[in-house]
């Protein structure tokens, strides 16, 4: 494993170690909050607040983990000196990255409805903007193709949008039954997408070769499923030379 390979497993490792355990806790507390409210189950009154507090960390964590993936993919696609668009484009993309993180922090802090809407949209737009770069691998951009629905990228940015929505609408979900129902629908979809991400992410991890293997593996024909034969090894030098 070289440094570049470690960079590539940063995102999957963070997802497995931080995000998925958090998902388990948030879902469990969400179900308990509902059981307390609807079935009058005897559960601690803190379930709802704990769910939303951990939900906030989950939303922010998902955005950051996706930003890590996008940054790694864009930065490592070609050597620094051959970066498409040169320093100017690199600076532009860096500004989008910093702007997205600042919007997320602002979304966490602000209270007024208008500000929450603006920072939520800015955060998602930042993720989509970085994701739209040609360096980012997307199975398909056509929703009518089967590949689109198997794409780790599209389900990923979709679930980011749903998490940002819940983070931005926290006060409304707490106060208003219609918003809570909307949150339930959005969260059920998010739970399915998280499941899909676990599967497509593991698939992608299996398909991405280590950096020293790339020159050979990328010579393979993925449609015909054949690889070029290895070049014959250098013949051993004659004995005594
Ligand atoms: C996979 C993610 C999530 C799932 C499955 C989920 C599920 C739920 C469920 C089942 C409820 C109870 C609804 C009811 O009482 O009818 C709930 C309530 C709530 N959720 Fe989530 N949720 C998720 C993420 C989030 C996030 C990211 C936030 C943002 C901070 C959030 C904020 C809230 C709030 C404020 C409530 C109301 C709590 C209360 O009644 O005290 N949730 N959620
Ligand atoms: C929280 C759930 C997850 C979300 C929202 C998510 C989202 C994303 C996004 C948007 C990308 C960039 C587009 C791309 O290169 O395909 C990406 C890359 C990638 N994801 Fe995930 N992902 C999640 C979980 C996982 C898991 C559990 C794994 C594997 C165990 C994984 C493996 C990968 C791999 C190998 C890449 C390629 C780039 C890299 O490693 O940095 N992802 N992910």
- Nearest ligand to the CA of 25 is 1
Closest atom of ligand 2 to CA, residue 136: 15
Q: Whose CA is nearest to atom 35 of ligand 2?
A: 205
Gap from CA of 163 to ligand 1 centroid (Å): 11
- What is the per-residue pLDDT for 240? 63
**Residue ranges covered by each domain of the chain:** 3-217
Gap from CA of 106 to ligand 1 centroid (Å): 21
CA 218 to chain centre: 25
CA torsion angle 207 213 218 224 (round to 10): -60
Whether ligand 1 lies within 6 angstroms of the CB of 59 is answered as: yes
Q: What is the pLDDT of residues 58-109, one digit of tens each?
A: 999 999 999 999 999 999 988 878 888 888 999 999 999 999 999 999 999 9
Q: Whose CA is nearest to atom 20 of ligand 2?
A: 201
Gap from CA of 127 to ligand 2 centroid (Å): 13
What is the pLDDT of the chain when averaged over all its residues? 93
pTM over 0.85? The answer is yes
Whether ligand 2 lies within 6 angstroms of the CB of 153 is answered as: yes
Q: Which of 125, 120, 124 is nearest to 169 (CA)?
A: 120
CB 7 within 8 A of CB 72: yes
């Amino acid at each position: 494993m070289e440094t570049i390979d470690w960079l590539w497993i940063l995102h999957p490792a963070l997802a497995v170690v931080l995000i998925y355990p958090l998902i388990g806790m948030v879902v469990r507390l969400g179900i308990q909050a509902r059981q307390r409210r609807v079935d009058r189950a005897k559960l601690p009154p803190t379930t709802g607040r704990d769910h939303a507090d951990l939900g906030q960390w989950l939303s922010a964590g998902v955005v950051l983990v996706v930003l890590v993936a996008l940054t790694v993919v864009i930065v490592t696609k070609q050597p620094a000196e051959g970066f498409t668009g040169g320093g100017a484009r690199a600076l532009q993309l860096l500004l989008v990255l910093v702007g997205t993180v600042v919007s997320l922090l602002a979304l966490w802090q602000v209270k007024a409805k208008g500000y929450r809407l603006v920072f939520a949209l800015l955060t998602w737009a930042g993720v989509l903007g970085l994701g739209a770069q040609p360096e980012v691998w997307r199975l398909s951009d056509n929703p009518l193709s089967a590949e689109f629905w198997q794409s780790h990228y599209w389900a990923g940015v979709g679930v980011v949008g749903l998490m940002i929505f819940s983070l931005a609408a926290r006060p409304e979900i707490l106060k208003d039954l219609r918003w809570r129902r909307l949150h339930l629908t959005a969260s059920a979809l998010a739970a399915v997408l998280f499941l899909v991400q676990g599967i497509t992410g593991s698939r992608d991890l299996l398909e991405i070769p280590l950096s020293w293997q790339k020159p050979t593996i990328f010579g393979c024909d993925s449609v015909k499923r054949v690889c070029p034969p290895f070049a014959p090894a250098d013949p051993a030098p004659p004995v005594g030379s």
